[in-house]
Amino acid sequence: MSYDPPRPAGRLLLTPEDKDAPARVRRLRRLGLGERAEPAFDAFADRLAEVAAAPYSMVNFIDEEQQFFAGLHTPDGGAKGSDLAATADGAELEVGRYMARDHGFCPHVVVRRKALVLEDVCDYPRFAGNPVVDDFGVRSYLGAPLIDRTGIALGTICVVDVEPRPWGKAGLETIKSMAAELVERLERREGVQGF
């Protein structure tokens, strides 16, 4: 029998088991989502960042292995890389279109199927151990699931900041409202494409 010594509470975070992943992937493929960036999603992420006054925002579709930011807003307006990466001094985020499933908080939102508000991730031992906290300096997160008419959580929309943020009830209502708006757009898109 092997023994693993206890780790600090901040490092106990595991990516949640996602039993709906195969159905989500089938649904995403049927909708033509999660494999390429689209200007409409980038525009939505831009508007989300503006409404939330946040430096980073994403429209995120999640499969069994990774997260794909179909919509992305960064302070510099670019998505040059292919992965989330720290700058040389570790002080800023360089955000690309892909991120591992065990990084960030969106996989938790998809599995929980509820919005998540982390005004300061360091206040929550369950989330403080996530790699994006130490490696990239993420300090606050606000996200909501994109649950379509079939009941599948396709992904999330989210905003993040490198500073603690008092999102409050207004932030929660905003992220939920904008998620509902995007789901409505996705459903209209499905009708137009004849699915």
Pair 132, 104: CB distance under 8 Å: yes
Q: Which domains does the chain have, with CATH numbers?
A: 21-193 (3.30.450.40)
- The C-alpha atoms of residue 59 and residue 38 are separated, in whole angstroms, by 10
Q: Is the pTM of this model over 0.85?
A: no
**β-sheet bridge partners, residue 100:** 66
Helix (H) or strand (E) holding 39: helix 39-52
Q: Distances from the Cα of 161 to the Cαs of 19, 132, 134, 177, in angstroms? A: 30, 11, 14, 20
Flag whether pLDDT at 5 surpasses 70.
no
What is residue 140's predicted lDDT score, i.e. its pLDDT? 93
Helix (H) or strand (E) holding 72: strand 66-73
Flag whether pLDDT at 8 surpasses 70.
no
**Tens of pLDDT, residues 59-91:** 999 998 899 999 999 987 755 433 344 333 444
More confident position, 79 or 103: 103
User: 53 — alpha (psi -120 to 50), left (phi > 0) or beta?
Assistant: left
Question: What length does the chain have?
Answer: 195
Give the type of residue at 55.
Answer: P
Q: How confident is the model at residue 95 (pLDDT cuts 50, 70, 90)?
A: low
Least confident of 78-87, 108-117, 135-144: 78-87
Q: How confident is the model at residue 137 (pLDDT cuts 50, 70, 90)?
A: confident
